[in-house]
Amino acid sequence: MRALNAAVGFEVAGTVVNRRFEAATDRYSPYRKMPAALWRESPVAGLEPGRRLATIASLLHVSSGGPGDEAGRSFAAALIEQSGLAPEAWLRRYLDAYLVPLLHAFYAYDLAFMPHGENVILVLDGGAVERVIFKDIAEEIVVMDPDADLPPEVRRIRAEVPEDHRLPSIFSDVFDCFLRFLNAVLATDGVLDEDVFWRTVAECATAYQRSVPHLADRFRRHDLFAETFALSCLNRLQLRNNRQMVDLTDPSATLQMAGELVDPIARFAPVRLEGGGATPGRT
């Protein structure tokens, strides 16, 4: 498999622990987080010459207008134009850097975390995405196999998650909560057609699966190209309990599901060939 274009931003120091609050409260108490602070290493020191940083949340920014800034123009479209790449090629570079590491974490290690817009930093070369840096994953992380062989100091991140509640870490957190919005931004800007967008996502996922054939059983068990997927409502978690969205010792128990969504890449599912290879489907 090719090397992943991703890194993790390490946390240098964390929460100040008050032993009196610890002794007087249960593990859900907000008092255990008073006072609290977090220091992370800066990604700036590791930048190559000419590179710059942006969160993936910035890709959803659309200008409201201003001096030299066209109203309604998206930051993502401006990056694509600056890169000199065709929109489809730009998107594929971004997906190779962002989506592939998330797929590999899930399929190879049963590992999931929260890769939302503010937690992923893009390293840009010109306007093109060169690699990504994931941050803030220490708390929002789970290995969805209670029997995983982990060092004692990190076994707290193991949890028993039902099989049908595992893939929503990709479907909900990535497809529903971010990529569909990026798709809308680029389609509204007239930069990239909706079908081309999702076909490119499917091609990226298919290329990843072909690069790790030893995980074929895992791909069949957790089908990324299923016709539909369960809708996990993340906002409902916050509305239900604004002090703790998820119980990390039993994350699946707190999920709020509501119906199903159509899998946008299902129609581009790989077509199996006689020789055992695969090529993305076409509508």
7 strand-pairing partners = 133
* Averaged pLDDT for residues 232-242: 61
**Residue 276 pLDDT greater than 50, yes or no:** no
**Residue 243 pLDDT greater than 90, yes or no:** no
The pLDDT assigned to 236 comes to 57
The pLDDT assigned to 281 comes to 57
Q: Which fold has domain 6-268?
A: Transferase(Phosphotransferase); domain 1 (1.10.510)
Strand pairing of 141-143 and 111-113? Answer: antiparallel
The pLDDT assigned to 64 comes to 80
Tokens of 170: 């990709």
Rounded to an integer, what distance in angstroms lies between the CA atom of residue 226 and that of residue 266? 6
Tokens of 114: 């929260």
pTM of the model: 0.81
**Residue 4 pLDDT greater than 50, yes or no:** yes
197 band by pLDDT with thresholds 50, 70 and 90: very high
The pLDDT assigned to 201 comes to 97
Distance of CA 195 to the CA centre of its chain: 21
Tokens of 266: 């299902």
Instruction: Give per-residue pLDDT as tens, 63-106.
Output: 887 666 677 789 999 999 999 999 999 999 999 999 999 999 99
CA-CA distances (angstroms) from residue 156 to 39, 94, 197?
Answer: 22, 32, 38
Domain ranges of the chain: 6-268
